[in-house]
Amino acid sequence: MNWDAISAVAEMLGALAVVASLVYVGRQVSQNTAMMRVAASSDTVERDHGLVLPLIESEELAEIWLKGDHRLSELSEANRQRLLLFERRAITLWHHNYQLRIQGLLSDAVWHYQNAMIRFLSQRQSMREAWGIFKDTFEPSFQTYVDDQFRAASIEPSE
């Protein structure tokens, strides 16, 4: 075997090593992305439960939240502000999920759930008011997304 043949074999082995490395890195990236999706999904569930938990634990807050449906004017100014800030927490969760979706880390099932929840909660007087107050603190693409969900809720037939 001459030096040219040895050189050609070495180049081929080097190329195979590069291809094998790329395949390995590709698999690692795929596994990492899958793990990030699972973590994002778990984080979303925890945040959602954390949002609802105060309503479950506090009868006072639950009553304030119920009045926010269609009787916002019956609340004291302090309780009205508490409720609007509570609703802002939901909007912030939606924004978090929106960002995860853009990054490709939120599953279709969680995205569907979020859209349904936005449509449901957009019927609340306090949520509409909170969105009007805090809307401009978010980027335009998120504003459009939430506005579209609110519009979809207003044209969907009620059951």
The answer to whether residue 71 sits within a structural domain is yes
Does residue 25 fall inside a structural domain? no
- In this structure, is residue 15 part of a structural domain? no
**Residue 17 domain-assigned?**
no
In a domain, 134, yes or no: yes
What sections of the chain are H helices per DSSP? 3-57, 59-70, 77-102, 108-121, 125-134, 140-155
Is residue 94 one of the residues assigned to a domain? yes
Predicted structure pTM score: 0.75
pLDDT digits (tens, 9 = 90+) for 57-96: 999 999 999 998 889 999 999 999 999 999 999 999 999 9
Residue-number span of the structural domain to which 68 is assigned: 37-155
- How far, in Å, CA of 50 to CA of 47, rounded? 5
Q: Report the distance separating Cα 1 and Cα 10, nearest Å.
A: 13
Which residues of the chain, if any, have pLDDT below 50?
none
Give the C-alpha separation, 156 to 152, whole Å.
6
Displacement of CA 52 from its chain's centroid (Å): 16
Q: In whole angstroms, what is the distance from residue 110 CA to residue 73 CA?
A: 34
What's the number of domains the chain is made of?
1
